[in-house]
Structure 1
Amino acid sequence: MGHCLAKPNKDRDDSEHDVEFAGGNVHLITTKESWEQKMAEAKRDGKIVIANFSATWCGPCRMIAPFYRELSEKFPSLVYLTIDVDELTEFSTSWDIKATPTFFFLKDGQQIDKLVGANKPELQKKIIAMQDSASSCKK
């Protein structure tokens, strides 16, 4: 499925390709502090976090963003984050992001799964599996 490997060299006006990467239950992470706060809340509440590392210039990222938002509303027991790799470059580098979008599935701050690329069926399947495992843990 589609994913972006590098930022295009073309200088374009950002407003031209601005896409809503947040909304629904998706939280846009713009600082390392907001990341740490959301991770702490998720750990406290025993929730699984889905971290979407993406970029505004990435076509596949823009294509999957509304679907990710839709899934966040359909499966609200998970925590949905979006990190712009250009805004938090150093932080994204620490996660070894090689392509966008990259989705990390985290429990207590530890990676339990990963998906690279804008693969809607696979993303939905993984989110449903995370939702089911989160539900079975609470029973």
Structure 2
Amino acid sequence: MSGTGLAVLAAALVLTGAAAWWLRARDGAVRAPARQEEDGVRGPAAVLGDLGVRPGEADLTVVQFSTAFCGPCRTTRARLQHLQATRPGLAYVHVDAESHLDAVRELDVRRTPTLFYLDRGGAVLGRSSGAPRPEELTTLVDAHTGPRA
């Protein structure tokens, strides 16, 4: 193989490694929402309200979009149900993404599970795509709901 070929191969390997690291770093990480209400564009809180989400009933409401054949969705659902049972200030809402495609489009849900975190006033605190990191999820829940029951 020529020197140019080796350089191209090395560059491709470095770029692939960097892309894999970047994707892994973002997977399940809670990020600030991309947008709230804007002129003529409904924000996430309005779309979630159309789905029956009522965040005023809990300190923190977690809305999970998932699909039937998503393995990480089942794990995330079980983890959130466990947290809900031990943290009275937490509400958990499950949304079947396949049955609510308009909301999926409006909220730009590109993969499952996707979670939205809402405070008592209905403001979206953040969102995550992919299985949430257990420690980060527990820390976020505890920060908004207080210690476990």
TM-score band by shorter chain is 0.5 to 0.7
Count, aligned residues: 101
Partner of 2:134: 120
1:71, 1:103 → 2: CA distance? 15
2:65, 2:99 → 1: CA distance? 11
Letter in 2 for 1:51: V
1:123, 1:71 → 2: CA distance? 9
Partner of 1:61: 73
Q: By percentage of residues, which structure has more strand? A: 1
Partner of 2:45: none
Partner of 1:6: none
Which of residues 47, 65, 68 is equivalent to 2:59?
47
Which of residues 113, 116, 120 is equivalent to 1:101?
113
Partner of 2:86: 74
Matched-pair contact (CA < 8 Å) for 2:60–2:141: no
Equivalent pairs: percent with the same residue? 24
Structure 2 regions of 5+ residues with no counterpart? 1-23, 29-47
Q: CA 1:34 to 1:75, structure 2 compared with 1: closer, same or farther past 3 Å?
A: farther
Structure 1 regions of 5+ residues with no counterpart? 4-31, 133-139
Matched-pair contact (CA < 8 Å) for 1:53–1:103: yes
> What value does the CA root-mean-square deviation take over the aligned residues?
2.6
Deviating 4+ runs (over 6 angstroms): none
